[in-house]
Structure 1
Amino acid sequence: MTRHDVFDQPVTLSDAHAVAEWNAMCLAFLAHGAATPVHLGKLLEAAPEYAAGHAVKGLFYALLGRRETLAEATSACAKALRLPRGNTREQALVTALQAMLARSPSRAIVALEGVLSQTPSDTLLMKLSHALRFVIGDAPGMRASVERSLPAHSQDHAGRGFLLGCHAFALEETGDYAAAARAGRAALAATPNDAWGLHAVAHVHDMTGDAPGGLEWLTGREAAWQQCNNFRFHVWWHKALMLLDLGRLDEALALYDAEIRSEKTDDYRDISNATSLLSRLQLEGVDIGHRWEELADLAEHRTEDGCLIFADLHYLLALTGDGRDAAIARMLARLSRDAERAGDEVDARMAVPGLAAARGLEHFGEGEYSAAFTHLVAARPAMQGAGGSHAQRDVFERMTIDAGIRAGRLREAEQILASRTIARGGYEDGYAAARQQLIAHAATIACPDSAGA
């Protein structure tokens, strides 16, 4: 018996209770809700022979980007393959999972988009494609995918608010900041628990250097992200970035302790929030104290993961922050092996931009700033492919610029700083203003006669 889900898509589920749990799972996933695995578990209890349920479980595990979660994804895929595949949509979920396990997110996206081209009102597949494109840094593809789905999401479509939130983020990542802010606000008005849309507007404030406006936007809207899984830590991270930009460094560090790292998880996304914020604070001269130690303890166990270069680079921030030389050497050796093999998409990103970026971080941690600058500059043109957002990758941009300043390579650092501002639509933030002053001061010291001319 075929029923239809909350997005009016066919599901080969005969049990109405199972359909209700599928619907609840889909809506929770779109909201980054903590209840997502709860509903998924109930779905699989009610319909253990539902291949698509196992496939979605596998995709969720694959997106966690850790070696042990890939083992769970592999197990889920094996179960799905032993069961009837269902309809075209359900078959595509299994195919996408197989592609992810083959370390080819691009092929997973193709599988999902093949169905979306025929049923663009399928918000679940849209969000999965969106998530996978985020992992590989494909902002233009993310935007094109969402915009193909927009006409099929009428005002009364159950997924419209979540689609608008995805559109807001895609618009921001492709530099259309005014449209992104409008879409994000519309998303939250339509669906008050759309944390992704709310956070997309926070990204706009980051990219346009409007920290006061960003704080105003987030304040009083905490309910939109408090229901989230660990994504809520990321929204608090955005608030900390705004405090940092305003020079409220003690408040940013206090938010790190109270919210961002309130739970000592080893999820790479949580570690990336933590390491990138501590790195930014350290660049501003803040004493981090013991905080690197906890993160480095976790990162030491991840040197052989090799699931995502984005994760590996943030593990390296922790390792270099705490001076774990042996673990740094293991990470770089493994990256070198992956780069030499380059047998799949993940390996290719380990090679470029991964290896140069990792060497740059190693040298930065050792205080070898000219070498750090050289390697980070070499990685810079391909850093989009490391995945994540502009705001997340900006920690590497800042370290590149700071390495250049510390190495006395002022003209080159100034050029990258100017390029960073152009990439942000010409908007200057507190970091850019402070570094311009540093460069001007350093140039005066280096060439006092020309400075007075």
Structure 2
Amino acid sequence: MAQIDCFGQPTTIATAAGLEAWNATQMAFLAHGAATPEHLGATLTADPEFALAHAVKGMFMLLLGRGELIQTARDACAAAQTSARNLPVSPREQTFVAALEVWLEGHPLKAVALLDSVLEAAPEDALAMKLAHALRFVLGDAQGMRRSIEAVMPAYGDDHLARGYLMGCHAFTLEETGEYGRAAATGGAALELCPDDAWGLHAVAHVYDMTCSPEKGLNWLAGREAAWAHCNNFRYHVWWHKALMHLDLGQTETVLHLYDTLIRADKTDDYRDISNATSLLMRLELEGIDVGNRWGELAETSATRTDDGQLIFADLHYLLALVGGRREDAAATLVARIAADGARSANEMEMRMSSPGVAAAQGLEAFGEGNYGAAFRGLSTARRHIQLAGGSHAQRDVFERLTIDAGIRAGAMQEALGILDERTTRRAGRDDSFAKARRAMIATATASSLHASMN
């Protein structure tokens, strides 16, 4: 007999203990809670035949973007399929299993479409809402994220347990689509409803990054640490945002302290943690800050990931580590593998290896070699489609900064200025400290060139 979960969804789970653990799994997932795997494990211990839990486990594995976890996801899919054959499951639960199947076949867009079909039938299904949001984030589909969230919003009344988490997701989509004022207000309201909504809190941090307001950002985060202390490795990402704010203020000693004590205190090999670390160190180096030997462990870890090929976003950050750590051979191996995957383009993720992946990878490699003309050509080509790499505006900004600096170093002043102007327009028409410094560099170089031509 189906039991009703905390979001009102009929769920073919056999035991009361299993349902309790399943509800805890869903709530923890919405909050990016570190306890999510523990609750999911308890669910499957209580009900080993619960097909939906197996399917969700497989999706969680795929969201981690690691090649060695593909088999775990396949095993979870097989368990879900077996359970669905042996026991009657609802069409909703069968659709989750089907979404995992097509995702494993290399078609995440089809998986999103299946999750959307769940939401069309049951818009109040917060599990499907958050999974669709997470997958679209990986795919770089900001407009799709917003459409998906706004389509289900009428179903989330004041009594819906996930209303605050939905609002946090909405805040992020508003920020990524340029509605900064609404995003900040919505994120604040989300946190009032769900004080542990780290995603909503971080959406507001994004607003302050994109509007060049680091002081306001620091004030926003101050005293709200409990909102992300319970998180999985997402907590490192929130500390990364805090470090970006200090960097914009020129407080580099504070940035390095945050890096050492919070952002990279745990030397994990999770690509999201690697991306936090590499992009922060690269930003520091572009400002002329000596980061010491910090590249070493990142490069060592990333050298073991050159054949992974699950996400171009991950691969480009592994490459940043190899460039920063002067691991030329490993960097060349990774660039060649991205090119080979891109040439094949057998599925959606390999198509992203092709574009923007190949041009971005070649540009990063050339930057590390000091070949700034080639770096600018590669990176400026990649930026036309860089959103397809996934992530957020703030995360992808490291590639924008490298493109601009490559242009300046290559003497392509007007082209670099044009990209800088586009970046400023996207940031509510405001310049951060990076933009101000580059405008000064371009002005000085242009004046010197004009003076030389007149003599």
- Which residue identity lines up with residue 81 of structure 2 in the other structure? L
Aligned to 1:243: 246
Aligned to 1:129: 132
CA distance in 1, matches of 2:4, 2:289: 55
- SS of residue paired to 1:251: helix
**Deviates further, 322-331 or 57-66:** 322-331
Aligned to 1:92: 95
- 1:263-412 matches, cutoff 5 A: 263-412=266-415
- Which residue identity lines up with residue 74 of structure 1 in the other structure? R
1:444 touches 1:451 (CA, 8 Å); kept in 2?
no
1:342 touches 1:348 (CA, 8 Å); kept in 2?
yes
CA distance in 1, matches of 2:84, 2:312: 35
Match of 1:446 among 433, 445, 449: 449
CA distance in 2, matches of 1:287, 1:134: 33
Aligned to 2:41: 41
Aligned to 1:168: 171
CA distance in 1, matches of 2:36, 2:307: 29
> How many Å apart are 1:425 and its aligned residue?
2.5
- 1:414-425 matches, cutoff 5 A: 414-425=417-428
> How many Å apart are 1:289 and its aligned residue?
1.0
- SS of residue paired to 2:442: helix
| Structure 1 residues 320 and 14, CA gap change in structure 2 (3 angstroms) | same
TM-score (norm 1): 0.98
Taking only the aligned residue pairs, the percentage that are identical comes to 58
* Deviation string, structure 1 residues 160-193 (Cα, Å, up to 9, x no partner): 0000000000000000000100110000000000
> How many Å apart are 1:71 and its aligned residue?
1.8
1:404 touches 1:412 (CA, 8 Å); kept in 2?
yes
> How many Å apart are 1:326 and its aligned residue?
1.3
- Which residue identity lines up with residue 336 of structure 1 in the other structure? A
Check if 1:149 corresponds to 2:162: no
Unaligned runs of 5+ in 2: none
**Deviates further, 439-448 or 113-122:** 439-448
* Deviation string, structure 1 residues 293-318 (Cα, Å, up to 9, x no partner): 10011101111100000000000000
Check if 1:190 corresponds to 2:211: no
CA distance in 2, matches of 1:448, 1:24: 68
CA distance in 1, matches of 2:268, 2:190: 30
2:332 touches 2:365 (CA, 8 Å); kept in 1?
no
- Which residue identity lines up with residue 364 of structure 2 in the other structure? L
- 1:13-162 matches, cutoff 5 A: 13-84=13-84, 86-162=89-165
- Which residue identity lines up with residue 174 of structure 2 in the other structure? L
CA distance in 2, matches of 1:70, 1:425: 40
- Which residue identity lines up with residue 212 of structure 1 in the other structure? E
- Which residue identity lines up with residue 318 of structure 2 in the other structure? Y
CA distance in 1, matches of 2:453, 2:19: 74
CA distance in 1, matches of 2:273, 2:106: 22
Check if 1:434 corresponds to 2:443: no
Aligned to 1:12: 12
CA distance in 2, matches of 1:184, 1:331: 38
> How many Å apart are 1:451 and its aligned residue?
10
- SS of residue paired to 2:121: coil
- Which residue identity lines up with residue 152 of structure 2 in the other structure? S
- Which residue identity lines up with residue 380 of structure 2 in the other structure? V
Check if 1:413 corresponds to 2:410: no
CA distance in 2, matches of 1:140, 1:425: 18
* Deviation string, structure 1 residues 225-273 (Cα, Å, up to 9, x no partner): 0000000000000000000001111111110001000110000000000
- SS of residue paired to 2:416: helix
CA distance in 1, matches of 2:72, 2:282: 32
- Which residue identity lines up with residue 361 of structure 1 in the other structure? L
CA distance in 2, matches of 1:69, 1:245: 37
1:443 touches 1:451 (CA, 8 Å); kept in 2?
no
CA distance in 2, matches of 1:154, 1:193: 19
CA distance in 2, matches of 1:71, 1:441: 55
* Deviation string, structure 1 residues 323-360 (Cα, Å, up to 9, x no partner): 11111111111111111111100110000000000000
- SS of residue paired to 2:277: helix
- SS of residue paired to 2:218: helix
Check if 1:224 corresponds to 2:237: no
CA distance in 2, matches of 1:441, 1:258: 38
- SS of residue paired to 1:295: helix
CA distance in 2, matches of 1:451, 1:102: 63
- SS of residue paired to 1:83: helix
CA distance in 1, matches of 2:14, 2:307: 44
1:80 touches 1:94 (CA, 8 Å); kept in 2?
yes
> How many Å apart are 1:14 and its aligned residue?
2.7
CA distance in 2, matches of 1:365, 1:248: 26
1:77 touches 1:97 (CA, 8 Å); kept in 2?
yes
CA distance in 2, matches of 1:373, 1:231: 32
* Deviation string, structure 1 residues 194-217 (Cα, Å, up to 9, x no partner): 000000000000000000000000
* Deviation string, structure 1 residues 33-89 (Cα, Å, up to 9, x no partner): 000000000000000001111111110000000111222111111111111261122
* Deviation string, structure 1 residues 146-165 (Cα, Å, up to 9, x no partner): 00111000011000000000
TM-score (norm 2): 0.98
CA distance in 1, matches of 2:430, 2:48: 52
**Deviates further, 359-368 or 69-78:** 69-78
CA distance in 2, matches of 1:258, 1:95: 42
2:84 touches 2:94 (CA, 8 Å); kept in 1?
no
